[in-house]
Amino acid sequence: MKQVRSPVCSLVGHIDHGKSSILDQLRGTSIIKIEAGGITQCISSTIFPIEMIKKICGDLLKALKLKLTLPGILFLDTPGHAAFNNLRKRGGNLADIAILVIDVNEGIKPQTLECIEILKAYKTPFIIALNKIDLLRGWKSQKKILLENIKTQSENIKNTLDRKLYEIVGKLHELDVPSERFDRVGDYTKQVAIIPISAETGEGLPELLMVLTGLAQKYLESSLKIEVEGPAKGTVLEVNETKGMGTTLDVIIYDGTIKLNDKIVIGGLDKAIVTKVRALFSCAPLTDMRKTKFYSIDQVHAASGIKIAAPDLKEVIPGMPIQVANKNLEKIKKEVQKEVHEVIIETEKEGIVAKADSLGSLEALTSLLKEKKIKIKRASIGQITKKDITEALSEKDSLNKVILGFNIKPVENKNAKVICHDVIYKIIEDFEKWQESEKKRLETESLEKITKPCKIEFLPNCTFRQSNPAVIGVRILGGILKVGTELMKESGQKIGEVRGIQLEKESITESEKGKEVAISLRGVIVGRQINEKDIYFSDLSEEEFIVLKKLQKHLNREEIEILKEIAKIKRKDNPVWGI
C-alpha cells in the first residue's frame, strides 16, 4: 500500500550561521550550547510531526486557509564544515528539500557557495533562512507575524534589512539563482524564497515552516509516495561506538520498512557487507537523535532517523547505501555495489586523483570537479596512500600530477601536488590557481629550451675576422639572440650557429633588440656565404615554430611578426610548413 512519507529536509550553510539554533528554537531545546565549540559535530535528525508544525504556524495557516496533509518533516542538521555531503541516495541528494541558512550580517561565505553548488548539482529545491535579524542595530523583537513586525520597525531598520537582503539577491543572481523575499515571490518554481528570521527570538520561524511545508506539499507530494511495507532503503549517516552496543549506525530510512532481525546489505569499498539487525533504536519526536535516550523498537518505516546495532559493522563508511535484503540477496548486493562504483573511479585514462572521507563527500567532490570539466583518473575513499601518490605521478601531463582531498589529512610529497581542504569550493579554487601558475611556469621553461624568434642585420664595416670563425658586428632588429641560435638568410639558406656573443669585449649568452654586438660563426666566409648589410633570421625547426605558435601569448608583437616572416621564408619550399 502506498502512502505519503515525511519529506527529508536538510539545514545547510556556513559554520555558525545558525543551522542548529533554528532547530533548537523549534524544538525548544538547547543542543547548540553543549556542542564542542558551538559547531555541530555530527549529523542529527529530528522528526517534526504535522501537529507540531500546525501549532507553530498557528494563525498563519488560518489566515492563508492552508490545509497541511503531510505526516510531518524529518529535519537533518549537518556539520557546517562538511555541508551535507553524506546525505546521498542513488541519483541525487537524500534531502527532498533544503533550508540554506545565511547570516544577514555576514552574507554569502565560501561554504554558502559550496552548499549552493551542491544543491544545484543535485537539483534539490531549497528556501533561504536569512538569520540573525535580531542583531541588526536598532531591531525591536516582537512576538508578531513577521511582516507586521517588519512594518513596525523604524524606517532606518527597514531600509537596512532591505539593503542586506537585496545584496544577497544580487549575489545569488550572479550564481544563476533567482530569489526574492518570500512575500514578494511571483512564482515559487522560478524564484527561491528568502525568509528573514531570528533563531534566537523565534521571529520568522512560523513563516519559514509554513513556506517549507507548503512547498513540499504542493510540489513534492507525488514523489514522496512510498510502498510502506516494502524493504527499506536508506543511507548511513554516521558510524559510532556506542557504550554497551559496540559499533552502531545512524541511518536515515527514506523508503520502505526495516524490522528487527531483517537481513541488511551495506555498500563496501571492496564488497557488500551483509549482516542482521540485532537491535533498532529511535528517539521521541522533537528530540535530537544524538542527545536523547533511545528506546528500542521492532520496526520503523520511512522517513525516519534510526540507530542500528548489528554484527560486522566496523568496516562501514558514512554515506554508504543500506537495503533490507530478506529476499533476492545476490541481486541486492549487486545493486548496492553498483551504486558505490558509480561514485568510486578506479581507472580512467587520465586526470587527477580525488580522495574523500565518505561516499557522499566523494560524490559531491567528483560531481563539482566534473562540472568544472576537471578530468578524474581515480576517486576513492580514505586517507591518501602510496598507491594514490604513484597513480598521480604516473600521469604524463604535469598539470594532472595532483591529489585533491576533501575532509582528509594532507601529506607531503615533493613530486605530486597535494591540495586538501574541508570546503570543496576552496579545493577547486586552490587547484585552479595552482594549475594556472604551474602552466605559466611550464610554458616559461619550454620557451627557455627552444630557439627564440630573432632578426639581425650584418653591420657595414664590422667584419672583425673573415673566417674560421667569422666574427662580425650585428644589430639586433627584433627578438632575442642567444648563443647556439642557428641563423638563415632571407632566402632560407642556412649559415650556421652563433658560437659566441660579445658586448663591449665581454662574453654574454644572449642579447635583445637594439643592441649591437659581435658574434662568431663557424663554417662561413665573409664575402662568400655572408655579406655586410645582410638580414638574418633565427632558423627555427618546425617543432620549435609550432611550440612558439602555441605559446605566442608570451611573445611581444614584434616577435610574433618575426615568427610570421620566418614562416613565410620556410613555406617557399614547403607550403604546409608549421601548419
- The predicted pLDDT at position 450 comes to 82
**What average pLDDT score do residues 316-323 get?**
91
Is the model more confident about 232 or about 64? Answer: 232
Among 29-38, 171-180, 294-303, the least confident range = 29-38
Location of each CATH 2.40.30.10 domain in the chain: 228-341, 454-570
Across the range 257-266, mean pLDDT stands at 96
CATH class of 352-446: alpha beta
Residues 520 and 495 sit within 8 Å (Cβ to Cβ): no
Backbone angles phi, psi at 159, to 5 degrees: -65, -40
* Contact status, residue 287 vs residue 246, Cβ threshold 8 Å: no
**CA–CA separation, 250 vs 309, rounded Å?**
9
pLDDT digits (tens, 9 = 90+) for 100-134: 999 999 999 988 888 888 888 888 899 999 999 99
Tens-digit pLDDT profile for residues 377-415: 999 999 999 999 999 999 999 999 999 999 899 998 888
Rounded CA separation 316/241 (Å): 12
Distance in angstroms (rounded) separating the CA atoms of residues 328 and 326:
7
Asked whether residue 31 carries a pLDDT value surpassing 80, the answer given is no
Grid cell for residue 202: 523565534
- Taking 90 as the threshold, does the pLDDT of residue 273 lie above it? yes
Nearest to 271 by CA among 353, 334, 351, 180: 334
pLDDT of res. 40: 38
Question: Is the domain covering 454-570 a CATH 2.40.30.10 domain?
Answer: yes
- How far is the CA of 231 from the CAs of 260, 298, 299, in angstroms? 12, 15, 11
Mean local confidence (pLDDT), 309-330: 93
Unique residue bearing C-alpha cell 658560437: 499
> What is the predicted pLDDT for the residue at 5?
87
What is the arithmetic mean of pLDDT over 146-173? 94
Instruction: Please tell me the distance from the alpha carbon of residue 362 to that of residue 452, in angstroms, as a whole number.
Output: 45
Round the average pLDDT of the chain to a whole number and report it.
87
Give the residue from 151, 201, 193 showing the smallest Cα distance to 172: 193
**Would you state the pLDDT for residue 36?**
44
Report DSSP letters for 417-474, one per residue: EEEEES-HHHHHHHHHHHHHHHHHHHHHHHHHHSPPPEEEEEEEEEEEESSSSEEEEE
d(CA 132, CA 166): 16
Confidence of residue 419 (pLDDT cuts 50, 70, 90): very high
pLDDT of residue 375 exceeding 50, the answer is yes
228-341 folds as: Elongation Factor Tu (Ef-tu); domain 3 (2.40.30)
Please check whether residue 570 is in contact with residue 552, taking contact to mean a CB–CB distance below 8 angstroms. Answer: no
How distant, in Å, are the alpha carbons of 104, 134, 140, 461 from that of 198? 10, 6, 12, 88
Work out the average pLDDT over 409-430: 88
Q: CATH number of the domain at 2-225, please?
A: 3.40.50.300
CATH 3.40.50.300 residue ranges of the chain are 2-225
Whole-angstrom Cα distance, residue 18 to residue 2? 36
Residue 550's pLDDT is what? 86
What is the 8-class DSSP label of residue 31?
G
d(CA 203, CA 324): 42
d(CA 22, CA 13): 12
How confident is the model at residue 67, as a pLDDT?
80
At residue 365, φ and ψ (nearest 5 deg) are -65, -50
- Specify the pLDDT at position 78: 65
User: d(Cα 255, Cα 88) in Å, to the nearest integer?
Assistant: 13
Output the CA torsion sign for 356, 357, 359, 364.
Answer: negative
3-state SS assignment for residue 248? strand
In the predicted model, what is the mean pLDDT of residues 558-579?
Answer: 92
- Whether residue 9 is predicted with pLDDT greater than 50 in this model: the reply is yes
Q: Note the pLDDT tens digit of each residue in 432-478.
A: 999 999 988 888 887 777 888 999 999 999 999 999 999 999 999 99
Q: Dihedral, CA atoms, 333, 337, 339, 344, nearest 10 degrees?
A: 170
Band (pLDDT 50/70/90 cuts) for residue 85 is low
pLDDT, residue 29, reads: 57
pLDDT at 345 exceeding the cut of 90: no
Question: Which segments of the chain belong to CATH 3.40.50.10050?
Answer: 352-446
Q: What is the pLDDT of residue 115?
A: 85
- Mean pLDDT of the region 130-151: 92
